[in-house]
Amino acid sequence: MSEFLRTITFPGFWKMSLREWKMGVWEINRSLRKGIFLDSLQKLVPELTANDLHGTGSGVRAQAVDRDGNLLDDFRIEESRGAIHVLNAPSPGATSSLVIGDYIANMAVKNFGLQPSKKTSFS
């Protein structure tokens, strides 16, 4: 099944979409209209002008949603056969944390029969 089909058949997607549709429309409008985008930026940096804005590519950060349509606020670590999955990790904070890295490394040692190095803990 394609990623698109998995998304639109996931019940949490529809629950979140129905609850947050106004925010979605606002974000699309803000991204398409330079003046509205500038107004929102000037709330943070009042001295910005339209001349300071230049078009460029944009990115999308995936956001995990549970079955009830709630956005997950934190990352989640899940194990499956032969893999450890770090989900919903906001970079670079969570992915560069030594404590989190230590936790995941220790999971890998335990689950994959790896030999720990001499220094096995950063915490």
52: exposed, middle or buried (Cβ count in 10 Å: 0-12, 13-18, 19+): exposed
Sequence-separated (6 or more) residues with CB below 8 Å from residue 29: 36
Percent pLDDT > 70 in the chain is 90
Q: How confident is the model at residue 123 (pLDDT cuts 50, 70, 90)?
A: low
Q: Which long-range contacts (CB under 8 A, 24 or more apart) does 97-104 make?
A: 98/122, 98/123, 99/123, 103/77, 104/77
User: Mean pLDDT lowest for which of 7-11, 79-83, 112-116?
Assistant: 112-116
**Conformational region of residue 96, where left means phi above 0, alpha means psi within -120 to 50, and beta covers everything else:** alpha
Instruction: Report CA Rg, the chain.
Output: 20
Mean pLDDT (the chain, rounded): 87
> pLDDT tens across 31-80, in order?
899 999 999 999 999 999 999 998 888 777 778 899 999 988 888 888 88
